Structure 1
Amino acid sequence: MAIIDDENGVWLGRVFLPEAKGPAVVTLRGGAVYDITSEVAPLVRDICEMDDPAGYVIEAPGFRLGMLEEIAEAAPGDESRIHFLCPSDLQPVKACGVTFARSMVERVIEEKAAGDPGKAEAIRARIGAAIGDSLKNIEAGSRAAEAAKQALIGEGLWSQYLEVGIGPDAEVFSKAQALSAVGPGAEVGLHPASHWNNPEPEVVLAVSSAGRIVGATLGNDVNLRDIEGRSALLLGKAKDNNASASIGPMIRLFDGEFTLDDVRRAELTLTVEGEDGYTMTGHSSMAEISRDPETLVRQTIGRHHQYPDGFMLYLGTLFAPTEDRDLPGEGFTHKPGDRVAISAPGLGCLENTVRLSTECAPWTFGVRALMTNLSERDLI
């Protein structure tokens, strides 16, 4: 699938410019990538803060860098060629967990198995169907959800994952620091201590500092099931590692043709292809999300928490693989070299290769480096 599947959309992203030794803000016009970096908007963050981001991008002066296909083929990290970066810059990356009932059941199984994949199948057979049936069509935070909670407590099946899945408060955590996420074509990292993990195909929202959702893109919220399953207090170690957050290919800004309702209807497809010939496909349907995207944004930003540069927000996934890859009963886990492709009509395709986080390129270009680079280019 092409990196971008609808060239009529209003697209906003970033590329690395060899001559600038730093990033440029770009859009697509007629199948070509255009540099629209300016003193008015040297950052993607600046455009997302505007009253009409899509209107600005459509009219912004720029110059042609090359055709989309040729730039998309350039390897990330090759500083001799223009290549795509993660489309966000100063926005911190937040994520919501346990937002789909079916994947919520798998989180409970992880907890009950204490991170041991060998125990997961037996636990799945014993309690998975019962919990899933109990929670079907329940609205998070409702009286019905509270009644289900009390019933499950009585059965000894209550879990902290069910608390954030159907309780009043959503799980919102910090996935990655600003500028640390990787983009299309890059390697994604697994902590070397993990031996039970999987990709998570998700929609990622671009949200302004005022809490306004201005666009959407795709993301891989790399998941370490064994580490988080041992203890929810290990969530930071399980979720925030070198190259463990992938976002892209570009942000599709909301306009008259693409709105939040399109996000609510999004159908995501996941494909994993291993160097050993293994293949797996998966799916995540936003129509089955337990909490509306606007609700998740309101729980993230408000009087209780401000984000002066806006933020990117992973919305969670329906996908939780249970099929065995190697040993019976141990389910799926990644192997180095796996190619992961996440796609959705209207949002394009995000593809990455799996490595250990210790083998991925280290993150060295932080906020200070970005500000120095922009200053040297007379953009700030």
Structure 2
Amino acid sequence: MRYYLLSGTERSASSLVARDGDDVYDLSSANESVRTFTDLARTAHITDRGVDDVASGLLADADRLSPETFEGRVALPVTPDEVWAAGVTYEISEQAREAESGMPDVYLDVYEGERPEIFFKATPSRTVGPGEAVGVRGDSEWDVPEPELGVVLYRGDPVGYTIGNDVSSRSIEGKNPLYLPQAKVYDRCCALGPCVASPETVGDPHALELSMQITRDGDVLYDESTNTAEMVKTVDELTSYLTRHNAVPELSVLLTGTALVPGEEFTLEAGDEVHIELDEVGSLENGVVEV
């Protein structure tokens, strides 16, 4: 199943909705205690079941909704206490970061090394959902979106997948790798959505087509795709390194890196539109503003 947070339902300000094919169910109408995906994941953890198993037990008592219910009402599907990200997990990403940096060996060593690059990305206040604008820094000259497979973790264990946009300042990071936090962490630096797809829905997370299109004033400036099979590190490996000697919060998201990197001649601008699609998950669309 795929789990969405819908704003403005009849019963409350928001509801957790499960979609199974063309069938849509308001899980919150079946149980008032299930308002968010975190509530669902918490129940699954307590009862030692999967999220789909828990959701299936609510369907008989849940209100049925029409697919049109989603129009303009899909909100941030999860509010993770922390968003982390992995870098240099695809060859093209390693090449791009070598090109932008005066210290290229740093990135080659990570790409070929056993230990991945894991860095802090965002807090809830810095994370936006579908239809909301991501940000580019006002003190940066070279900015790019980075479309990524996102792993949703409950107490460090994968419970679903989403799409992430790890917006980054290549000019700031390129000046010195020690500037990475400033290149990555700022207002509206991360987008997640449109839903959380269960592990059963996604299947193999290393066999998903991922694409990104960027438009400006109606013109397509970038349109490329890749496959998560090209990742040099697995989801399990990346999750293992995130959780080693690190007390992760109840709910977190780990972005797994990108292979879709616009060329050096491109920089993201206010007013641009970014459209990301991921097999088995859906599409995430965001505008761009300067922050």
1:179: Cα distance to partner?
5.5
| Match 2:268 to one of 334, 355, 364 | 334
Identity of aligned residues (%): 29
- Alignment of 1:24 with 2:23, yes or no, is no
| TM-score relative to the length of structure 1 | 0.69
Q: 2:157 aligns with which of 201, 212, 232?
A: 212
2:245 maps to 1:311: no
User: Aligned to 2:253, what secondary structure does the other structure show?
Assistant: strand
Letter in 1 for 2:270: P
Report the alpha carbon displacement of residue 48 of structure 1 after superposing the two structures with TM.
2.2
Contact 1:89 1:179 in 2 (8 A): no
Change (3 A) 1:17 1:70: closer
Q: Which residue of 2 aligns with 1:283?
A: 225
Match of 2:175 in 1: 230
Match of 2:235 in 1: 293
Counterpart residue number, 1:55: 53
For 1:208-252, what per-residue CA distance to the aligned partner results, in whole angstroms no more than 9, with x for missing partners? 20x321211111111211111112222222112222211111011
Could you say if the C-alpha distance between residues 181 and 225 of structure 1 is closer, same or farther in structure 2, counting changes exceeding 3 Å?
A: same
Partner of 1:78: none
Equivalent-residue separation in structure 2 for 1:30 and 1:287 (angstroms): 25
1:88 counterpart letter in structure 2: V
Distance 1:167 1:320, change over 3 A: same
Distance 1:274 1:31 in 2: 33
Indicate which of 94, 101, 117 corresponds to 2:84.
94
**Max Rg structure:** 1
Question: Do 1:53 and 1:214's aligned partners in 2 also have CA atoms closer than 8 Å?
Answer: yes
Q: Which runs of 5+ in 2 are unaligned?
A: none
> Against the structure 1 CA distance between its residues 27 and 169, is the aligned structure 2 distance closer, same or farther, given a 3 Å change threshold?
same
| Residue correspondence of structure 1 range 78-117 to structure 2 within 5 A | 83-112=73-102
The equivalent of 2:6 in structure 1 is 15
In 2: Cα distance, 1:190 partner to 1:233 partner: 19
Deviation at residue 32 of structure 1 after TM alignment = 5.9
Unaligned runs of at least 5 residues, structure 1? 1-9, 75-82, 113-156, 323-329, 358-380
Matched to 1:54, the amino acid is D
What CA RMSD, in Å, does the superposition of the two structures yield over aligned residues?
Answer: 2.2
- Equivalent position of 1:172 in the other structure: 118
More strand by share: 2
CA offset digits 1:297-329 (Å, max 9, x no partner)? 000013x0122313111100111222xxxxxxx
Residue aligned with 2:233, SS: coil
- After superposition, the C-alpha distances for 1:57-114 in whole angstroms (9 at most, x for unaligned) are 22224334x5334533x2xxxxxxxx222111244211111111221011111112xx
Q: How does 1:35-54 map to 2 (within 5 A)?
A: 35-37=26-28, 38-49=31-42, 50=44, 51-54=49-52
Contact 1:201/1:284 (CA < 8 Å) preserved in 2?
A: no
1:345-364 map, 5 Å: 345-357=279-291
Moved more, 241-250 or 229-238: 229-238
Mapped contact 2:126–2:188 kept (Cα < 8 A): yes
Which residue is 1:249 aligned to?
A: 194
User: For residue 141 of structure 1, what is the aligned residue in structure 2?
Assistant: none
Q: Distance in 2 between matches of 1:30 and 1:167?
A: 41
Gap change, CA 1:90 and 1:313, over 3 Å in 2? closer
Q: Distance in 2 between matches of 1:87 and 1:335?
A: 26
Are 1:258 and 2:168 an aligned pair? Answer: no
Deviation at 1:158, TM superposition (A): 5.4
With over 3 angstroms needed to count, the CA separation of the structure-2 counterparts of 1:346 and 1:278, relative to structure 1, is closer
The 3-state SS of whatever aligns with 1:295 is: helix
Quote how far apart the aligned CAs of 1:278 are: 4.2
Aligned-residue offset at 1:33: 4.6
Deviations 1:123-153 (CA, angstroms, capped at 9, x unpaired): xxxxxxxxxxxxxxxxxxxxxxxxxxxxxxx
Give the AA of the match of 1:355. V
- In the alignment, residue 205 of structure 1 is paired with which amino acid? V
**Aligned partners of 2:112, 2:140: CA distance in 1, in Å?**
28
